[in-house]
Amino acid sequence: MTTLVTGIGELTTQDPERGPLQDAALVVDGDLIAWVGPAASAPAADERIDVEGRAVVPGFVDSHSHLAFAGDRADEFAARMAGERYDGGGIARTVDATRAASDDALRALLARRMAELRAQGTTTVEIKSGYGLTVDDELRTLRLAAEVTPETTFLGAHVVPPGTDVDSYVALVTGEMLDACAPHARWIDVFCEPASPHAFDGEAARTVLEAGRAAGLGLRVHGNQLGPGPGVRLAVELGAASVDHCTHLTGDDVDALAGGDTVATLLPGVEFSTRSPYPDARRLLDAGVTVVLATDCNPGTCSSSSMPFMIALAVREMGMTPAEALWAATAGGARALRRTDIGVVAPGNRADLAVLDAPTHLHLAYRPGVPIARSLF
């Protein structure tokens, strides 16, 4: 079954060979894009959708989220707006709420959140565990996440559970917990943050990542969120796909990113929601670093699931152009997940597309908070 999508006022392909197209059309065959080009030369298809001059962009790729949780921490957000600082301590509250939730309750929460994402134009999302922190609860959240996305990440090393010592917890994460979780995860992640009393230092993070790699998982790192630290350089050294947050960077960190294969994923919803200084995207881009945007959607540091909001923040607060921010939220997200079948509108790729109630992509940043984006299919 083929569908012709026509009447595309502006098509952002993110395909360097094609560039953006005006008055464009595309043909979808099943789940895949079959043809892209000017509307005037579009081939026939079984069905036709006319988007009446709207802009079409690749579906957003949200390469960093923590959607497998129960409860909320809106009270912590309010306290931060009144001056309190974030240090990761609230994670334990979400762990309690998540452990107490039944499988069906978590499944319903995930389904609702997936619908919320699609309604805002996100077509791929990565989901981390990390609110279980026991073998059974980490396995359970990963299994449930795997029901809704192939991009699942084992984050047993989110924080050290209260009352446990770091060394024995790292032994559990890299032993029995990893054995149970690895078959249900594509990635492993660690909250490497010496500035937090709850997270992991560089040495513990290295142990976790090396064990994950030996178990066949790809690597991702939460690094340099709350202060300078070893996370970014460790991620680059170990060839992680992405290091995420990158809020506090030294010149050496920027040089390492510029010289390595690891992308920098910025999560400006976190700085918004923790009232913190934004990462310096311009400095990274000017140094030649691949910059990606994601939501980090989680109950503690950013409760927004909106990629258009991240684009607006990146443009308004981090010195990115609207085109750079859109690339970072689409093709960049694909890069962070080491995927070549999404993020770029080209024949053979997945037909993951977002349509905007707007004539151009500029409106994503120009109309913040207005729900103009939705997934096309």
**Are 202 and 192 within 8 A, CB to CB?**
yes
CA dihedral over 162, 165, 168, 174, signed as positive or negative = positive
Q: Does 94 bind ligand NIG (CB under 6 A)?
A: yes
Measured from the CB atom, the residue of 91 and 373 that comes closer to ligand NIG is: 91
* Shortest Å, Cβ 35 to ligand NIG: 40
Tokens of 268: 């400006």
- Asked if 296 touches Fe ion (CB under 5 A), the answer is yes
10/296 with CB nearer Fe ion: 296
Residues in the chain: 377
Q: How far is the CB of 128 from Fe ion (least distance, A)?
A: 7
Among ligand NIG, Fe ion, none, what binds residue 191 when CB lies within 5 to 8 Å by partner kind? ligand NIG
User: Which residue number places its CB atom closest to ligand NIG?
Assistant: 300
Site for ligand NIG in 296-355 (CB under 6 A): 296, 298-301
> What is the rounded CA–CA span in Å between residue 38 and residue 6?
9
Q: Residue with CB nearest Fe ion? A: 296
Q: Residues 269-298 vs ligand NIG: string with x where CB under 6 A?
A: -x-------------------------x-x
Q: Which does 300 bind (CB under 5 to 8 A by kind): Fe ion, ligand NIG, none?
A: ligand NIG
In the complex, the smallest distance separating the C-beta of residue 296 from ligand NIG, rounded to whole angstroms, is: 5
Site string for ligand NIG, 218-247 (x = CB under 6 A): ----x--x----------------------
Decide: is 113 part of the binding site for ligand NIG (CB under 6 A): no
CB of residue 258 to ligand NIG, shortest distance in Å: 24
- Shortest spacing between CB 251 and ligand NIG, in angstroms: 24
Q: Is 90 in the site for ligand NIG (CB under 6 A)?
A: yes
Edge-to-edge strand order for the sheet containing 263-266? 127-128, 152-157, 187-192, 218-223, 242-245, 263-266, 291-293
d(CA 315, CA 310): 9
Q: How far apart are CA 11 and CA 54, in angstroms?
A: 9
Q: Which does residue 330 bind out of ligand NIG, Fe ion, none, counting CB within 5 to 8 angstroms by kind?
A: none
Cβ neighbour number for residue 95 with a 10 Å cutoff: 23
Residue 57 bridge partners (DSSP): 354
Site string for ligand NIG, 64-83 (x = CB under 6 A): --x-----------------
CB atoms within 10 A of CB 49: 17
Q: Which range of residues in 42-50, 272-280, 294-302, 367-375 is near Fe ion by CB under 5 A?
A: 294-302
For residues 36 and 18, give the distance between their C-alpha atoms in angstroms, rounded to a whole number: 9
Q: Is 271 in the site for Fe ion (CB under 5 A)?
A: no
DSSP H helical ranges for the chain? 74-81, 91-100, 103-118, 135-146, 166-172, 178-181, 202-214, 231-237, 251-259, 268-274, 281-286, 307-317, 322-329, 331-336, 363-366
DSSP, res 344: S
| Cβ contact 33:347 at 8 Å | yes
Least distance from C-beta 344 to Fe ion, angstroms? 25
Residues forming contacts to ligand NIG in the complex (CB under 6 A) are 66, 88, 90-91, 94, 191, 222, 225, 270, 296, 298-301
